[in-house]
Amino acid sequence: MEDPTESLTSFSESLFATSNQQQQLGFMELLGISGSLQEEYYFSSPFDSMLPSSTTRGFTPSMTTSSSPAAEVLNNGPATPNSSSVSSVSSGGNGGGGAPNDHEQTTTYCDKSVGLGDDEEEQHDKTKKLEPSLMQNKGLLLCVNIRFAGSEEMIVDFWGLCRLKPKKTCEKKKKEREPKFAFMTKSEVDHLEDGYRWRKYGQKAVKNSPFPRSYYRCTSASCNVKKRVERSFTDHSIVVTTYEGQHTHHSPLMMPRPSPLTSRYSQGGSGRIPAGGFSHQLRTLTLPSDQQQQFNNFAPLNCGGYNSIVHTAANEPSLRGSQFSSRSPASSASIRGGDYGLLQDMVPSTMNIIKDES
């Protein structure tokens, strides 16, 4: 059976890597991250998308495999206690010089569920009770591989960005919450070092999962950022980290290790977090024009100078049943400096975001 993580990774890559057009799209525009977001955003679980399409609102991928020298496998070495032991397939390009992969995946997405308009959504809600996880899965939008630096190479997958529309019945009741962003990380360690200091304040057993969920709070006095860490019950190697809120301070563990790549980004940074203060590299992402439009259609909000991308992709024929061929060697896109600064608020600072300049 195909590894669902890999398959979804493949999909996400293909989303960005299928065109020769070099249109660039800011990463945070893709994410729709902004400090003034009023809704909760999630990166949906890939496994939600693997659920039967009759109940899933995400893509329903089907896959084939074939050989491709352009693909690569990362981090096949033994696990280290503090690093990922598992890796998913990354797209081609230099990407750190991984070995060629054995197979390429061509992913076909029958995203009948993606693109539900609000009306359609409501109709859907009326007729079918959805699991909470499925509710989050209103469209797989984005998946980015991030690698840890050096020997602690790791792949982090950003899964589809979804908007969780609050139920109308509880709109008034629910207290306003900070925007949430979830990251799925293949890792053996639950609590990934992300440059900030966290204090664990709770742990709860999760329903339908043998793994407990841990609750952390940023130890900075004025910072009320929280994060939840739990393991995916469908793939125990995946750690789901959900961040809530935005840091009001710089990373206390930030170690300035400027590199040519990071210094480049530091020039265009937002100033939010000094780009040179991280050893990040950005893997460029390119979105073909039609797909960029697709992502732009996910962006009804324009907050803080960033066009957020979250939107139901209603009536988007470009994604319906579209077939993406991954491992395009021409894959690249850019994450602009300002977006990058915001990204660093979200992404563990020990991760390297691979910049693919091929």
Partner DNA sequence: CGACTTTGACCAGCGC
Partner DNA sequence: GCGCTGGTCAAAGTCG
The answer to whether the CB of 304 falls within 8 A of the CB of 36 is yes
Of 200 and 257, which has the nearer Cβ to DNA? 200
Least distance in angstroms from the C-beta of 91 to DNA = 33
Of 147 and 213, which has the nearer Cβ to DNA? 213
Of 152 and 190, which has the nearer Cβ to DNA? 190
Which letter, b or e, does each residue of 139-161 get, where b requires 16 or more Cβ atoms within 10 Å of its Cβ?
A: bbbbbbbbbbbeebbbbbbbbbb
Least distance in angstroms from the C-beta of 222 to DNA = 14
Which residues have a Cβ under 8 Å from the Cβ of 249 and sit 6 or more positions away?
220, 222, 223
Of 243 and 278, which has the nearer Cβ to DNA? 243
CB count within 10 Å of CB 237 equals 18
DSSP string computed for 304-321: TTEE------TT-TTTEE
Least distance in angstroms from the C-beta of 115 to DNA = 24
Of 196 and 324, which has the nearer Cβ to DNA? 196
Least distance in angstroms from the C-beta of 170 to DNA = 3
The answer to whether the CB of 270 falls within 8 A of the CB of 26 is no
Least distance in angstroms from the C-beta of 261 to DNA = 30
Of 126 and 129, which has the nearer Cβ to DNA? 129
Strands (E), the chain: 40-43, 61-66, 72-73, 89-90, 99-100, 104-110, 145-148, 156-157, 161-164, 180-186, 198-205, 212-218, 226-231, 238-244, 302-303, 306-307, 320-325, 351-352
Of 199 and 268, which has the nearer Cβ to DNA? 199
What are the residues binding DNA (CB under 7 A)?
Answer: 129, 167, 169-170, 173-175, 191, 197-207, 213-216, 219, 226, 228
The answer to whether the CB of 216 falls within 8 A of the CB of 200 is yes
- Type and span of the H or E element at 267: helix 260-267
Q: What does DSSP say about strands 226-231 and 238-244: parallel, antiparallel, or unpaired?
A: antiparallel
Least distance in angstroms from the C-beta of 34 to DNA = 21
Least distance in angstroms from the C-beta of 245 to DNA = 10
Tokens 């962003």 identify what position? 181
